[in-house]
Structure 1
Amino acid sequence: MNATNKHTLLLIDDKPANLIALKSMLEKPNREIITCNSGNEGLQILLKEKVSLILVDVQMPEMDGYEFVEITKQHPNTANIPTIFVTAISDEAKYINKAYDLGAIDFLFKPLVTEITRKKVDSFLKIWDYDQELKMLNDKLVAKNGELEQFANIIAHDLKTPLNNIKSLVEFIEEEHLLDLKEEATDLFDMVKSSAMSMSKLIDDLLHYSKNVENNDRKETINILSEVNAVIKLINPNGDIKITKDNLNHTIDFQSVAFKQIIQNLISNAIKYNDKETTEINISFDEDQKQIAITDNGPGIPENQSEKIFQMFYTLGQSSRGDSGTGMGLNLVRKLAERNDVKVYHNSQYKNGSQFIISDLKTS
């Protein structure tokens, strides 16, 4: 925190003597103090000046302190300026509650005590400084995220273009010299194509990851069953995949896109890594525990890898169906879960396959 931050204070009171006394209490080298005698004049000043703190008298003619604050809170440029009421009115609860309802942050009761007045003002100016720094950091973060997404798109394009050229060139050589190629050479060409396709998929996953993790859509009320059905329809499992659903007709607070992405990743992994003739997946909701369990009858995951699988680029190797992942799916699942204030983990105690739990769900 910069100790030399300059602050502008706005003091409003219809009695000039009160303004002189208050200003003398609060004067410091790093402060500019503006005084005025009415709420209307104060509103005009706020249009031109960047104010860090307002101290306003409650009892004034034409526009009292309550009306002044009510107006400032309706405008985005002034709504977040901390405001302290200075008043000689009784400190009864009804007056205090009214002020807080309007958005005031504190009271100073007349006659003012110099030390208390100074300490309260110093404290709220520190809060103002922290708030401004947070806003600045947030603005920088938003700008940086935009730059990163643009950079990611450029890099993805620059990487995928030569990959596509390699794939096309290999296919051309195969077509033109198919009869001349020995079996070993054909195998090598297949390896080159497979590597190019894997690299292309990794680039796509990286782009998908960056866009999904930065998705800031707000939570909404969603129906678990409807969302799961939409994912299953998208995956379109064939006859050797059996998916059962238990007690899913409930609503939770979640980002719809994020929830679908989590469910899709977990179901897709259960299918991809299953080693049984028929893949069996069960999706269930526990009302008491407020959690969803996705269970499969696959080979399971070693207990010592229950957390490692959520690390970026960590994989368990090639799946039983021949393909391999990029190690980003489960990391994305965890990031999206954290964005929605829930947890996703692998239940290492489940021994008949794999079980992933989405816990701490907020029902609605």
Structure 2
Amino acid sequence: MLPLIKVLAVDDVPENLVALEALLRRPGLSILPARSGTEALELLLVHEVALALVDVQMPDMDGFELAELMRGAPRTSRVPIIFITAAPRDRGRLFRGYEAGAVDFLHKPIEPHVLESKVDVFVELYQHRQRLDEKVELLQQALQLNETFAAVLGHDLRGPLGTITAAASLIAKGPPEPAVQRAAERVLRCSERMTRMIEHLLVYSRARLGQAIPIAPQPADMTALCASILDEQEHRGAERVRLQCRGDPRGCWDRDRMTQVLSNLVGNALRHGALDAPIVVEVDGSRRDEVRLSVRNQGVIPPEILPHIFEPFRTTSSSRTASDGFGLGLYIVQKFVEAHGGTVAAASSPAAGTSFEVRLPRTAPASGA
């Protein structure tokens, strides 16, 4: 059952209150009668109202004074007020009424259908506001859940995963029994993949909350970073990758963040590129103020997906495996590059294949963009 919507009616003449209640009586609407401004304020302390119908001429406290008190209280500051008056139209009184917070004036004798129409409008606005408040509350709850989720990922899951990784590393260094070695390597690969997934979810959570992605710039060599990634990707077919460099590849970037950028781009090229075609990773340091990095392969991104390729939870239909299980790999690439003050773009066609180009300033800003 829907809650009653309440309308406050304030008039010092009891007959007028009875007439207002008779005119506005309908299912789902309740009229709260008050015979003075003081009685109206007492009702407002208890009830939430969608609209106040206030007579201007009342003893002790007139309608203007009541409106000013309502506007000054946080609980009632948003309640729309319609003044009802028997006085002739006077521009000075109208100005004072609107200055006190009125949204409209009705002059006696009141036209019933005009009163009903105006009340219906404000009741509908009140219902819309209630629904909006409910949605805002749900969004706040979702943000709080997101923060809790990020905290769980960052603390409660990373600890056990680190223990698994360390144990697998010890097993891999033990006696060279083929079955044990294979099992240890499998555990290591899975734990590394889970670590990347957790990191991607943390970055996504932070970005969706509007928080800056922290970076710690330090001197780095982009060619050396690329070589280290290719060495790590050796078991996945990195022998197909051709690393090229020209100009000065040195700059000041966050090595960990850029390593993840390179890992995602090279990993995507290895997964989605043609198996019989080389992958070209080029570092272009020929410009004084920036370093450009491109990763090219002979795979093709479908035209309908290309405009959305950096959106979260997007994967191509031709993917042999998901990049991180969530489709966040390229989203993370974009966020990390933007945190460095750079840009990343993708292009793809059947004739030229697919290329990703990253443009980075030589010196990244000291904090996330």
Q: Tell me the alpha carbon deviations over residues 289-333 of structure 1, each in whole angstroms, 9 at most, x when there is no partner.
A: xxxxx994524797732322324164899xxxxx98974265479
Could you tell me which residue of structure 1 aligns to residue 196 of structure 2? 201
User: Any residues of structure 2 matched to 1:128-207 within 5 Å, and which?
Assistant: 128-147=126-145, 149-151=147-149, 153-154=151-152, 159-175=157-173, 177=174, 180-181=175-176, 189-190=184-185, 192-207=187-202
State the 1:34 CA deviation: 2.2
- The answer to whether the aligner puts 1:276 opposite 2:276 as a matched pair is no
Q: Aligned equivalents of 2:161 and 2:60: distance in 1? A: 73
Could you tell me which residue of structure 1 aligns to residue 70 of structure 2? 72
Aligned AA for 2:131? E
State the 1:163 CA deviation: 2.5
Q: Aligned-residue CA RMSD in angstroms? A: 4.7
Could you tell me which residue of structure 1 aligns to residue 103 of structure 2? 105
Gaps in structure 2 of 5+ consecutive residues: 223-248, 267-280, 336-342, 360-369
User: Any residues of structure 2 matched to 1:328-347 within 5 Å, and which?
Assistant: 328=328, 331=331, 346=345
Could you tell me which residue of structure 1 aligns to residue 220 of structure 2? 238
Length-normalised TM-score, structure 1:
0.62
Identity fraction in percent: 26
Could you tell me which residue of structure 2 aligns to residue 50 of structure 1? 48
Gaps in structure 1 of 5+ consecutive residues: 218-226, 245-263, 284-293, 318-322, 336-343, 357-364
Could you tell me which residue of structure 2 aligns to residue 308 of structure 1? 309
Q: Is the 8 A contact 2:285 2:291 kept in 1?
A: no
Could you tell me which residue of structure 1 aligns to residue 82 of structure 2? 84
Q: Which range is displaced more, 160-169 or 186-195?
A: 186-195
Corresponding residue to 2:29 among 28, 31, 34: 31
Q: Tell me the alpha carbon deviations over residues 32-87 of structure 1, each in whole angstroms, 9 at most, x when there is no partner.
A: 32222322221121112232321112333443323322222232222222322223
Q: Aligned equivalents of 1:126 and 1:133: distance in 2? A: 11
Distance 1:353 1:65, change over 3 A: same
Distance 1:348 1:277, change over 3 A: closer
Q: Is the 8 A contact 2:310 2:334 kept in 1?
A: no
Could you tell me which residue of structure 2 aligns to residue 210 of structure 1? 205
Q: Aligned equivalents of 1:102 and 1:242: distance in 2? A: 66
Could you tell me which residue of structure 2 aligns to residue 287 of structure 1? none
Distance 1:347 1:151, change over 3 A: closer
Secondary structure of 2:8 counterpart:
strand
Q: Tell me the alpha carbon deviations over residues 255-274 of structure 1, each in whole angstroms, 9 at most, x when there is no partner.
A: xxxxxxxxx98998489759
Q: Aligned equivalents of 2:260 and 2:170: distance in 1? A: 33
Q: Aligned equivalents of 1:121 and 1:95: distance in 2? A: 22
Could you tell me which residue of structure 1 aligns to residue 294 of structure 2? 298
Q: Which range is displaced more, 55-64 or 326-335?
A: 326-335
Secondary structure of 1:111 counterpart:
coil
Distance 1:270 1:332, change over 3 A: closer
Aligned AA for 2:39? E
Q: Is the 8 A contact 2:153 2:202 kept in 1?
A: no
Secondary structure of 1:78 counterpart:
coil
Secondary structure of 1:277 counterpart:
strand
Aligned AA for 1:328? L
Secondary structure of 1:306 counterpart:
helix
Q: Tell me the alpha carbon deviations over residues 7-49 of structure 1, each in whole angstroms, 9 at most, x when there is no partner.
A: 2221112333433332322223433322223222211211122
- Larger Cα Rg: Structure 1 or Structure 2? 2
Q: Aligned equivalents of 2:98 and 2:329: distance in 1? A: 47
Q: Is the 8 A contact 1:296 1:353 kept in 2?
A: no
Q: Aligned equivalents of 1:198 and 1:267: distance in 2? A: 15
State the 1:153 CA deviation: 4.1
